[in-house]
Amino acid sequence: MNARLARKHDYEAGKLAKRLRRQVGQAIADYSMIVDGDKVMVCLSGGKDSYALLDILLRLQARAPVRFELVAVHLDQKQPGYDPDVLPDYLRRIGVPFHVIEQDTYSVVRRVIPQGKTMCSLCSRLRRGSLYTFAAENGFTKIALGHHRDDIVETLFLNLFHQGALKAMPPKLRADDGRNIVIRPLAYCAEADLADFAELRGFPIMPCNLCGSQENLERKNVKAMLAEWEKKNPGRIETVFRSIANVMPSQLADATLFDFAGLDGDVLRADAHAWLADPDSSDAALDSG
């Protein structure tokens, strides 16, 4: 690479890093993800996204007006071919405190899930259980996950198509266990940018031999659908993501979120409501009196 190309490469790399830092900082500010005194557990899977998350948080930590602690935590799931030295060597090299939790979830998933069936649901539950328990027992105030904008949009469509629910991944939530606060600082970041960033930074990527080899995942189908949309209409994924933060309950149909009955001040009597809900039922006769 000649000097001119090297300068251009460095300039583009710098722009990308700056954009990602700005997006992560904005997400943290918008959702009050990290406050003064937080002890943040950064879940490091060995994939491009979690590496990028840790890298960007470290750079923000060095300049942030609030003080917070970062600790990398990795779950060794005992997958075949797993090299236990890759992550510890990397984290020692960059000077980040870390813990490795060892739990053979691989064997559990292989034993429970029939051959050919998707494993993500059980694997995710087991992984979350281990990480959430560790966080609660070790005084972490936040758990940072590496889900990005594209993950959030994909989850929206998965829930639409398969659960009949209008929900995605929130940038911040209290976990089901009630003990932990989960944050997603990469919520505004595009997956393509994170892939480019990982390549530029030379992260030691560790492939997942459990779910990564499955070709029948519905998420892959949704990802392909969105990629086709993005190809035909650049910016489509970003527009869909913005809609998640621009919800108008009065324009949807959830009667628990908007008072449709109270629009004109008329409220049905209980017996009338029951009859209308099942007008063919002899037990729900409308009492006109």
| Distance of alpha carbon 131 from alpha carbon 177, whole angstroms | 12
pLDDT confidence band for 286 (50 / 70 / 90): very low
Q: Report the pLDDT averaged over residues 10-18.
A: 86
- The CA distance from 128 to 43, in Å, is 10
Q: CB within 8 A of 220, min separation 6: which ones?
A: none
Would the pLDDT of 6 be above 50? yes
pLDDT tens-digit readout, 253-281: 998 999 888 887 777 677 777 777 777 76
Helical (H) or strand (E) element with 182? strand 181-183
Whether the per-residue pLDDT at 160 is higher than 70: the answer is yes
> pLDDT band at 116, cuts 50/70/90?
low
How much is the average pLDDT of 146-155?
A: 96
Q: Name the β-bridge partners of 71.
A: 41
Percentage of residues in the chain having pLDDT higher than 90: 63
Q: Which residue ranges make up each domain of the chain?
A: 3-217
Contact 77, 59 (CB under 8 A): no
C-alpha 167/C-alpha 247 separation (Å) is: 11
Cα 48 from Cα 206, distance rounded (Å):
9
Query: What CATH topology corresponds to 3-217?
Result: Rossmann fold (3.40.50)
What does the pLDDT look like over 35-84, one tens digit per residue? 999 999 999 999 999 999 999 999 999 999 999 999 999 988 777 778 88
Q: Mean pLDDT throughout 3-12? A: 69
**pLDDT given for residue 260 in this prediction:** 87
Predicted model pTM: 0.86
DSSP, collapsed to helix, strand or coil, labels residue 174 as strand
Cα-to-chain-centroid distance, residue 212:
17
The DSSP annotation for 24-43 comes to HHHHHHHTT---TT-EEEEE
- Amino acid symbol at 146: G
Pick the more confident residue, 289 or 137. 137
Single-letter residue type at 101: I
> What are the phi and psi torsion angles at 143 (to 5°)?
-115, 115
Q: Distance (Å, rounded) from C-alpha 289 to C-alpha 286?
A: 9
Q: Cα(200)–Cα(185) distance, rounded to whole angstroms? A: 20
Please, how many CA atoms are within 13 Å of residue 141, restricted to the half-sphere of its CB? Answer: 11
Q: Give the Cβ contact number of residue 169 at 10 Å.
A: 20
Q: CA 141, CA 269: separation in Å to the nearest integer?
A: 48
